[in-house]
């Protein structure tokens, strides 16, 4: 740190020379609020309309399914669980990935996370809500859903699934909301007295009188640390309990001790990929290339591939343990060489090998390459969930032929509606909240020297003071300095 | 602990019997009876094993009956009359085979037929996993589904080792208007989006009638039995002393390793093989 690399130094001088610091800090606030301030463009309206139409189609399909029964979604007595439970696991899984990625980066003080956490946490919140909603098309009688609370059976894994998802959703909300408090105060001040009623409620009430004092900052940081620490075991428990809905039956292929970690890792893996997708989408949509660079994608890519390898290993361990003795090999044959083989090998090639190659080669190791890999990871992990659900469900437990599941327009439309709901909800959400946490960006101090960091904070403080009429103390620069120095160039 | 000793003794006898018969999955009634002086629900015991939630609330007076079933595979010819009779009585679709007749392969490659109703497990996995207690066990030892409470999660279908549960995936078959509302004992008409399964026709049994499948079997292969009074009856009017019949004919239960304690006993012929846990291949 003391010995500074010449190149970095000269880079920094360039920036200083061009008097970029003030612009940079202005840019942080400006870019963070780009989604709120600017009137949405044509592209935004087209996208939101199309996505909205897909969601409406999904709702219509669901009403149709309610009327005609689950047979219209392709279900039958041998494929009694299929696409919707895979959807539930997939959506809640990516949510978990978003929350935990953000929590771990926060806890380990990774300052490069700053422009990513808001997007990751928003994605986590949106997907857990969508995932929870998919329980309704899964049930034969969603109208009786509350029976779980009225007549609870504590020995049922499904009861605990319900409890775990509920607790986790609440935690995700808090995790999303806490870092938002200072931003709400900033927005509230910016709007001044001309606030409409909803704006008053949203920004003034929800900012809880945030003044940015040292005491408040300390409390917020403590709260964030606690919730970051809590959300990790919470998310682990959600996915373990979800996996027990399968593992606590006597079905070959499901009754596996490996299932809880298997589900947890799958969730992390797909979740990291989803963070990449959301970040890529908003980066492009709101031109945030300045703050979110290739470097961010590469780092997320490394994290993703590492998790992918653990998942591949667990898949292998599961198949070998079950397959070797040959006692219950039916579902393995069906998975690896039988009717589920195309899906299984699609997962292996598109969901595991492809991202490894993308990250391994310098040519593809960039934002575009990693975004494309992430698309395949998310899709193939959904396919993988189907390959976990279907072979064990459709196997004949007594004698006779294998059952099978066939997609119908109903199940496809409802699933697509869930997919469309992710960008739909996020795009609407970011009309009202900043794209990244201004405070965290400030602390991260993207540029690399003591003077600059403090210079930036001073400028930011000035800006904030202008909006808020308050003194904002500059954070210590040393931490962000070390971090940003490691980033290098 | 004395309990674990008894368990080990049970286990050894069961394994011994199973080895003698050439499979691991069979437990003979003989082995069972000789190690369990009073099998659950047998003659005067009104035990309800597993979850206490399993029993219905009305345990004030001990039940008069503990229902069971014996299926004599020696005489079953696979005509599926039992399935048809059941489906007619309960207004089921063709796919809803509450009693299904499977074609099984014996140890030397010949096939035989095996009807499979709900086993009315004394330790029913379907009951333990139901999140809303829609599946319950009566004090007569019959596992029933309250279709008025079932949320249609199908967790029970995942848990049942015998594939004995069937869902109402669509509106189902036409049914005449019923004089009484559907009950767990007589779930007719079936309700869309809920699960159904063999009820043992417990209403018939309590009225002194045979179950539809037993009555519909032209071979007299299916006996309705009562463990309390120790009798069994089939459609030919044959009355058996249940425990003796099971003992003398080396009755077995299906998939014993699942620890479900079925209330349905099978009488095997020669060379048949009930070890079907790994049929799935
Ligand atoms: S056979 Fe299946 S449905 Fe019947 S009691 Fe046993 S576990 Fe439940
Ligand atoms: S489908 Fe109905 S009976 Fe079966 S576990 Fe779910 S709520 Fe219980």
Contact assignment for A399 to B195 by CB distance below 8 Å: no
Q: What span, in angstroms and rounded, lies between the C-alpha atoms of A296 and A420?
A: 25
A477 within some domain: yes
How far does the CA of residue B112 sit from the closest CA of chain A (Å)? 12
Q: Check if the beta carbon of residue B181 is closer than 8 Å to that of residue B99.
A: no
Q: Is the peptide bond before B189 cis (omega within 30 degrees of 0)?
A: yes
The pLDDT of residue B108 is 78
The pLDDT of residue A426 is 95
Contact assignment for A249 to B158 by CB distance below 8 Å: yes
Do you know the residue count of chain A?
489
A468 within some domain: yes
Q: Which residues line ligand 2 (CB under 6 A)?
A: B 129-130, 132, 134-135, 145, 150-156, 195
pLDDT in tens, A359-377: 999 888 899 999 999 999 9
The pLDDT of residue A465 is 55
A389 within some domain: yes
How far does the CA of residue B22 sit from the closest CA of chain A (Å)? 17
Total domains present in chain A: 1
Tell whether B195 lies on the interface with A, counting CB pairs under 8 A.
Answer: yes
Number of separate helices (H) and strands (E) present in chain A = 22, 0
Structure tokens at A40: 């949405």
How buried is A45 (Cβ within 10 angstroms: 0-12 exposed, 13-18 middle, 19+ buried)?
Answer: exposed
A113 within some domain: yes
**Distance separating the N- and C-terminal Cα atoms of chain B:** 41
Range of the domain at A54: 11-488
Every domain of chain B and the residues it spans: 13-280
What is the pTM for the complete model shown? Answer: 0.82
The pLDDT of residue B44 is 43
A vs B, Cβ pairs < 8 A, gives: 157
CATH code of the domain in which A404 resides:
1.20.1630.10
Q: What is the mean pLDDT of each run of 10 residues along chain B (281 residues)?
A: 36 33 45 53 43 39 84 92 95 94 85 93 95 94 95 96 95 80 89 95 91 94 92 91 91 89 88 52 34
Tell whether A140 lies on the interface with B, counting CB pairs under 8 A.
Answer: yes
The pLDDT of residue B17 is 37
Q: Which residues line ligand 1 (CB under 6 A)?
A: B 118-121, 124-126, 143, 160, 162, 164-165, 197, 260
Instruction: Kindly identify which residue of chain A lies nearest to residue B158, measuring between CA atoms.
Output: A249
Determine if residue A470 is left, alpha or beta; phi over 0 gives left, psi from -120 to 50 gives alpha, anything else beta: beta
Structure tokens at A217: 């900052």
The pLDDT of residue A203 is 82
The pLDDT of residue B273 is 64
pLDDT in tens, A112-152: 888 888 999 999 999 999 999 999 999 999 999 999 999 99
Indicate if ipTM > 0.85. Answer: no
Domain B13-280, CATH number (from 3.40.50.2300, 3.30.70.20, 3.40.50.720, 3.30.70.260): 3.30.70.20
Q: What span, in angstroms and rounded, lies between the C-alpha atoms of A482 and B73?
A: 79
Q: Check if the beta carbon of residue A100 is closer than 8 Å to that of residue A231.
A: yes
The pLDDT of residue A489 is 35
Q: Which ligand is nearest to the CA of B261?
A: 1
A3 within some domain: no
Tell whether B24 lies on the interface with A, counting CB pairs under 8 A.
Answer: no
List of chain A residues with pLDDT < 50: 1-18, 446-456, 469-489
């Amino acid at each position: 740190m003391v010995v500074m690399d010449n190149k970095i130094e000269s880079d920094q001088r360039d920036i200083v020379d061009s008097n970029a610091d003030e612009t940079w800090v202005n840019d942080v606030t400006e870019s963070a609020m780009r989604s709120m301030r600017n009137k949405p463009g044509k592209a935004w309206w087209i996208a939101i309309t199309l996505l909205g139409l897909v969601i409406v189609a999904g709702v219509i399909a669901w009403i149709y399914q309610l009327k005609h029964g689950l047979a219209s979604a392709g279900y039958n007595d041998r494929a009694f669980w299929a696409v919707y439970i895979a959807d539930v696991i997939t959506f809640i899984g990516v949510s978990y990935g978003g929350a935990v990625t953000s929590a771990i980066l926060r806890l380990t003080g990774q300052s490069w996370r700053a422009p990513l956490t808001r997007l990751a946490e928003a994605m986590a919140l949106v997907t857990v809500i969508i995932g929870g909603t998919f329980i309704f098309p899964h049930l034969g009688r969603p109208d009786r859903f509350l029976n779980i609370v009225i007549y609870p059976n504590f020995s049922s894994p499904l009861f605990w699934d319900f409890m775990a998802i509920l607790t986790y959703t609440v935690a995700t909300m808090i995790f999303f909301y806490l870092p938002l408090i200072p931003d709400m105060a900033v927005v509230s001040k910016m709007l001044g007295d001309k606030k409409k009623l909803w704006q008053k409620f949203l920004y003034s009430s929800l900012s809880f009188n945030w003044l940015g004092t040292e005491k408040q900052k300390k409390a917020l940081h403590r709260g964030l640390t606690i919730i970051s620490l809590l959300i990790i075991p919470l998310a682990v428990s959600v996915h373990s309990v979800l996996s027990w809905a399968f593992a606590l039956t006597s079905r070959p292929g499901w009754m596996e001790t490996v299932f809880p970690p298997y589900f947890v890792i799958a969730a992390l893996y797909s979740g990291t990929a989803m963070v990449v997708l959301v970040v890529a989408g908003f980066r492009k949509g709101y031109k945030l290339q300045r703050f979110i660079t290739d470097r961010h994608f590469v780092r997320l890519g490394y994290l993703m591939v590492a998790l992918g390898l653990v998942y591949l290993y667990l898949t292998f361990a599961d198949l070998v343990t079950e397959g070797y003795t040959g006692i219950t090999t039916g579902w393995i044959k069906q998975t690896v060489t039988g009717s589920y083989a195309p899906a299984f090998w699609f997962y292996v090639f598109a969901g595991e090998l492809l991202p490894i190659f993308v990250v391994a080669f310098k040519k593809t190791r960039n934002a575009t390459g990693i975004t494309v890999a992430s698309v395949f990871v998310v899709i193939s992990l959904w396919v993988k969930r189907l390959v976990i659900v279907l072979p064990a469900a459709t196997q004949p437990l007594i004698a006779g032929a294998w059952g099978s599941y066939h997609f119908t327009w109903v199940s496809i439309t409802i699933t697509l509606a869930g997919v469309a709901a992710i960008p739909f909800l996020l795009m609407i959400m970011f009309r009202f909240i900043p794209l990244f946490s201004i405070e965290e960006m400030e602390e991260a101090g993207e540029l690399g020297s003591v003077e600059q960091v403090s210079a930036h904070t001073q400028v930011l403080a000035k800006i904030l003071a202008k909006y808020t009429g308050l003194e904002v103390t500059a954070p210590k620069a040393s931490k962000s300095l070390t971090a940003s120095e490691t980033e290098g160039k | 602990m004395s309990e674990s000793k008894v368990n080990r003794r049970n286990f050894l006898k069961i394994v011994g019997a199973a080895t003698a018969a050439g499979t691991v999955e069979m437990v003979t009634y003989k082995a069972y009876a000789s190690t369990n002086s009073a099998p659950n629900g047998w003659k005067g015991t009104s035990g309800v094993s597993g979850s206490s939630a399993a029993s219905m609330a009305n345990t004030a007076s001990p039940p008069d009956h503990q229902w069971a079933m014996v299926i004599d595979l020696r005489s079953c010819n696979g005509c599926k009359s039992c399935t048809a009779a059941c489906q007619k009585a309960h207004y089921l679709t063709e796919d809803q085979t509450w009693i299904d007749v499977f074609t099984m392969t014996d140890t030397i490659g010949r096939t035989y037929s095996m009807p499979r109703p709900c086993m009315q497990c004394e330790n029913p996995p379907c009951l333990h996993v139901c999140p809303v207690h829609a599946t319950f066990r009566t004090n007569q030892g019959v596992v029933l589904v309250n279709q008025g409470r079932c949320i249609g999660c199908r967790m029970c279908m995942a848990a049942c080792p015998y594939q004995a549960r069937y869902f109402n995936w669509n509106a189902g078959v036409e049914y005449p208007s019923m004089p009484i509302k559907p009950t767990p004992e007589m779930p007719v008409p079936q309700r869309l989006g809920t699960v159904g399964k063999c009820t043992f026709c417990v209403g018939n049994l309590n009225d002194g009638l045979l179950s539809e499948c037993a009555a519909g079997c032209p071979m007299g292969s299916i006996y309705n039995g009562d463990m309390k009074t120790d009798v069994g009856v089939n459609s030919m009017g044959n009355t058996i002393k249940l425990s003796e019949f099971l003992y003398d004919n080396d009755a077995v239960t299906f998939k014993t390793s699942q620890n479900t304690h079925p209330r349905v006993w099978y009488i095997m012929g020669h060379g048949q093989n009930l070890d079907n846990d790994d049929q799935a291949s």
